[in-house]
Amino acid sequence: IKESELDLYRNKKFLSFSRNNDKHHRLSLLHDYLTNDFSDSYFSFLQTVVPYCNVYHGNENQLTAEEYNKKLPIELDTDGKVDNFRTDNTFDKKLFLDSVIHIVSETSFQNNELFISEKVLKPILNFQPFILVGPYQYLKELKNLGFKTFGDYWDESYDEIENPKERYMKIRELILNLNKKTIEELNLLYKNVKHICIYNNTKFNSLNIENSIDKIFNKLQ
C-alpha cells in the first residue's frame, strides 16, 4: 500500500482476523460478532469452537458450541485453506484499503503474557489504526518501542486494566461505540489519524532488525 492510496473511501468499519477460536477473548469476539450488527465490517473466524471455552460475557449469554460452529468458518483471505495457511502470505490489499480500524486479536490475553507478535504488524504495515485485544499494558510496551497509539481519538484506558474479563468488556464497549458511528464519520476519523498510521509505518521500516537481534543475543551472553 502506498501513501497516495490512503485517502480512498473505505466502505467497511473494522477489519479483524481470528484464526483460532479456542481462547476466551477470541470466542468472546466471535460472540459479539454474531450477536451485534457488524455487516459493514470484515471479520474472519476460522476454526470451530470447543465446548469448554467460555465467553467473558457470562455463561447466561453464551451460545452452545453448535450455535457458534454452524456459522463457521468465516473466511477473508485464506482461500479455503482453513487448516493450511501461512500468516506471512495473507495480506489482501483491498481488505486493508477498504476498512478503517483494525481489531488485533493477539495470541495472549487471559494470562497477561506480554508477547508482541506479527499480528499487530498487519495494521502497522498497512497504515491502519488499531484496537488491541491483547494483554495488560500491551499498548504501553508498543509506545516504549517508539510507536504511537490512538488515545487522543478514542478511549485506550483498557490497556491499564489488569483483570482480563474487565479489560475485554472495556474493549467491547469501545468497539460497539465506534460501530455506532456512520461509515462517513469513520472515514473522517481515519483522515484525522492518518498521520499516526504513516508515522508507525515509517517507524517500523526504519528499524534495524539485524542490529536488534544482535542486541538480544548480547544480552543473553
The predicted-structure confidence for 76-87, as pLDDT tens digits, reads as follows 877 766 665 556
Q: Which three cell numbers stand for residue 177?
A: 461505540
Cα distance from N-terminal residue to C-terminal residue, the chain: 40
Q: What is the pTM of this model?
A: 0.90
Find all residues with CB under 8 Å of 189, minimum gap 6, and list them. Answer: 100, 153, 181
The predicted-structure confidence for 126-181, as pLDDT tens digits, reads as follows 999 999 999 999 999 999 999 999 999 999 999 999 999 999 999 999 999 999 99
Task: Please give the Cα distance from 85 to 208 (Å, whole number).
Answer: 28
pLDDT at 143: 96
Q: Are 168 and 135 in contact (CB under 8 A)?
A: no
Find all residues with CB under 8 Å of 170, minimum gap 6, and list them. Answer: 155, 157, 158, 161
43 three-state secondary structure: strand
The predicted-structure confidence for 204-221, as pLDDT tens digits, reads as follows 999 866 555 555 455 555
Residue by residue, DSSP assigns 84-116 as S--TTS---HHHHHTEEEEEEE-S--TT-----
Percent of the chain exceeding pLDDT 70 equals 88
> What average pLDDT score do residues 53-58 get?
91
> What average pLDDT score do residues 52-81 get?
86
**Counting Cβ atoms within 10 Å, is residue 135 exposed (0-12), middle (13-18) or buried (19+)?**
buried
Q: In which band, very low, low, confident or very high, does the pLDDT at 92 lie, cut at 50, 70 and 90? A: confident
Which residue matches cell numbers 484464526?
Answer: 19
Task: Please give the Cα distance from 43 to 38 (Å, whole number).
Answer: 8
